[in-house]
Structure 1
Amino acid sequence: MEVQVAGLVGIYADPRHVIAYSDGEVRQQFNICVAARSIGGTLQGSAESTDQRYVDPSQLGELPMHPTRRLRLEHFLDTSWRQPYVG
């Protein structure tokens, strides 16, 4: 998918959020989240994807996801944000 970046939502790092994968890999969360709009291409998965689809924002509460991912989506959907989140 081709996108045009519209702005920075936030920079997310939490030393308490450590992810241990089933293959033994361990990572600490660090994420730079941008707002973008689709300008071409098609939605496709990758080796890291189990599902991909467009979801209406009103349905996000029904989807299972880690609280840190939900926080990023909430920050993106909050149209009153003027400064990127850093934390």
Structure 2
Amino acid sequence: MGRTEYWNDPQAPKANSLVPACGVLAVNDAGEILLQRRRDTGQWALPMGKMEIGETPTECAIRETLEETGVEVEVTGLLGIFSDPGHIVAYTDGEVRQEYEVTFLARPTRGLPTANDEASDVDWFTVGELAELDIHPSMRRQISVYVDRGGPHID
């Protein structure tokens, strides 16, 4: 399913759903941040996905990270809750979502970054390397909360 992201765009379609999503900003012992390159947009992003009925936000974040990156993580804290009505995601099936993301801090416990059907590439990056990557502004905002030590962030 394809998707188009809008960021404070007056031409964005109106949201028709609000779905809780959870993810992590994982940092390894070298201080590098784990990112995946999304197959649907081609942009680099934190691992994140839709919460399933019967799981906690933490369980969702751990599951999504493993599914999207091949890396198992342990949650160590809360980066923030991000719900900006100006961030709209439109899917080809007609769903138009307003952002609602709970992002945790985490550390890797095992596994290696591995491409899969959701991510064409997965890797660890230093903060200095991030400027060169195509990262959506909503993800940059979340990463900057970590880099600037401004968390936890709550919208």
Query: In the alignment, does 2:154 pair up with 1:86?
Result: yes
Q: Take 1:50 and 1:24, find their aligned partners in 2: how far apart are those partners?
A: 25
| Alignment partner of 1:36 is 2:144 | no
Stretches of structure 1 that go unaligned for 5 or more consecutive residues are none
Q: How much is the aligned-residue C-alpha RMSD, in angstroms?
A: 1.8
Cα deviation for residue 26 of structure 1 reads: 2.3
Letter in 2 for 1:86: I
Question: So what's the TM-score if we normalise by structure 2?
Answer: 0.49
Q: Percent identity?
A: 36
Letter of the 1:85 counterpart: H
Deviations 1:34-75 (A, max 9, x none): 111111122233433232111111011111111110010111
**Is 2:114–2:121's contact at 8 Å kept on the other side of the alignment?**
no
Q: CA deviation at 1:25?
A: 3.7
Structure with higher RCO (Cα < 8 A, 6+ apart): 1
Alpha-carbon separation, structure 2, partners of 1:58 and 1:42: 22
- Who is 1:58 aligned against? 128
- Structure 2's unaligned 5+ residue stretches are 1-70
